[in-house]
Each structure stands twice: as structure tokens, then as C-alpha cells.
């Protein structure tokens, strides 16, 4: 059975949520690829050394959460990764989101979350937080208008466009971005959080907590 290596960080979390939402036939295995005794092993699986990584039965590997979501949809014969006429629309939201809404959230989360968890010697860059917050507002307004008349970004059911667009929102307790200012966007986020695989993808898994953020 394929192995999906993961952690609790945003992109690995996304991959696990997809796997559990699709009930994909994979073994979920927590990993720490940057641990000194693990670096050589994971560099052989992914030249960037990062996770998530999907190790297939034939020994080939796939890395990057979106590519893994596509493969898991193939394995489960699911339209979570849209096909046919809906596929360009889904890819539109993936492409736009990663350069706008997702990127902006990532900027804020990196400064307030990742740096404080893993790089405590680095100062918080308030200019980057301001840039990310401004980008959030600009993109959130577009998403709010789009979601005002529909439940999901693309089609009548959740797709990978929804999961990817929301990939940093589970960390909003750290980012503190003002979702409530955008009612349709906030309602969409609530709908996602009503999906068990999205709300708690690590339920029942051996997944150590992220390092605490110092007060």
C-alpha cells in the first residue's frame, strides 16, 4: 500500500485531509525529514527534503500536496480533483489562490507561526505581516463575492480548490486574520470545518503536536 508521509504543518496537513476525505488506500506515516538522522533518507525521496511525500508501491515518489491530491483522486476514482468541463475552473482557483489568498495567509503564518516555532532566533518581520494582511483583504473580498451565491468554489461539492484555498485557515488562531469581516467566506470556512476529515485530519493518528509558540 502507498505510504503518505506527513506532519501537522500546513501542506502535509492538507495532504492528510485529502487522503482521509477520500478514504484513500494509503498508509499514513508521521515523519520528521529535517531531523539529523532522517535527512539522508528523505532527500532520496524528495530533493527538497520536504513533506508531504507519497511513496507508491512501485517505489516511485510524488511530492507537493496538490500533485498528491490529484493522485489520491485517481486512486479513489473521485471527482474531488475535477474532471471534464469543471477541471479548468478548479485549476483557475488553484492557480489564483496560490498566488494571492493562500500566499498572503502563508506570509502571515510564517511570521507568526513557523518562525516562532522553529526559528526563534529570527525577528518577526512586521512589514511582511502587513503585506500578507493587505493581500488577505484584497483576495478575501474576491472570494467573498464568489461564495455569496454558492457553497463551494467549483461545482456543487467540495473539491481540491476548496481544500487548497483554505489550507492555512486551520492556523488562524495564530494568524488572527479577520475572517468575520467577510460573511460568505466565513460561512464557507464553517462548511469546511463541518467535514470531519478537514476539521481533524489527525484523529486517531500518531501525530506529535507542533512545537509550542512561546508566549
84-103 pLDDT, tens per residue? 999 999 999 999 999 999 99
Confidence bin at 126 (pLDDT 50/70/90): very high
Question: Percentage of the chain surpassing pLDDT 90?
Answer: 93
203 has pLDDT over 90: yes
**Residue scoring higher pLDDT (121 or 146):** 146
Q: Is the pLDDT of residue 143 over 80?
A: yes
Cell of residue 92, nine digits:
483557475
pLDDT of residue 8: 96
Hey, which residues does 30 pair with through a beta bridge? 6
Each residue of 60-89: pLDDT tens digit?
999 999 999 999 999 999 999 999 999 999
pLDDT band at 151 (very low <50, low <70, confident <90, very high): very high
C-alpha cell at 113: 507561526
Residue in this structure with the C-alpha cell 484555498, named with its chain if needed: 165
Q: Is the pLDDT of residue 42 over 80?
A: yes
Q: Which residue has the higher pLDDT, 27 or 34?
A: 27
pLDDT category at 168 given cuts 50, 70, 90 is: very high
For the cut 80, the answer to whether the pLDDT of residue 215 exceeds it is no
Per-residue pLDDT, averaged over 2-7, amounts to 97
Question: Has residue 41 got a pLDDT over 80?
Answer: yes
- The structural domains of the chain, ordered by start, are 3-80 (3.40.30.10), 84-197 (1.20.1050.10)
Alpha carbon separation from 16 to 20, 120, 127, 183 (Å, rounded): 6, 27, 32, 28
- Is the pLDDT reported for residue 44 higher than 80? yes
Amino acid at each position: 500500500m502507498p505510504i503518505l508521509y506527513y506532519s501537522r504543518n500546513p501542506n502535509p496537513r492538507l495532504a492528510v485531509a485529502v487522503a482521509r476525505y477520500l478514504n484513500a488506500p494509503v498508509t499514513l506515516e508521521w515523519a520528521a525529514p529535517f531531523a539529523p538522522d532522517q535527512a539522508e533518507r528523505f532527500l532520496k525521496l524528495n530533493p527538497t527534503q520536504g513533506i508531504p511525500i507519497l511513496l507508491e508501491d512501485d517505489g516511485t515518489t510524488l511530492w507537493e500536496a496538490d500533485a498528491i491530491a490529484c493522485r489520491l483522486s485517481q486512486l479513489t476514482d473521485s471527482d474531488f480533483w475535477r474532471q471534464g468541463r469543471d477541471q479548468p475552473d478548479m485549476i483557475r482557483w488553484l492557480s489564483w489562490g496560490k498566488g494571492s489568498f493562500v500566499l498572503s495567509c502563508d506570509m502571515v503564518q510564517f511570521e507568526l507561526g513557523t518562525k516562532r516555532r522553529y526559528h526563534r532566533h529570527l525577528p518577526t518581520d512586521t512589514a511582511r505581516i502587513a503585506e500578507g494582511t493587505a493581500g488577505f483583504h484584497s483576495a478575501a473580498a474576491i472570494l467573498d463575492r464568489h461564495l455569496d451565491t454558492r457553497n463551494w468554489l467549483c461545482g456543487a461539492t467540495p473539491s481540491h480548490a476548496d481544500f487548497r484555498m483554505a489550507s492555512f485557515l486551520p492556523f488562524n488562531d495564530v494568524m488572527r486574520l479577520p475572517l468575520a469581516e467577510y460573511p460568505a467566506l466565513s460561512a464557507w470556512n464553517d462548511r469546511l470545518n463541518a467535514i470531519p476529515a478537514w476539521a481533524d485530519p489527525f484523529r486517531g493518528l500518531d501525530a506529535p503536536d507542533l512545537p509550542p509558540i512561546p508566549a
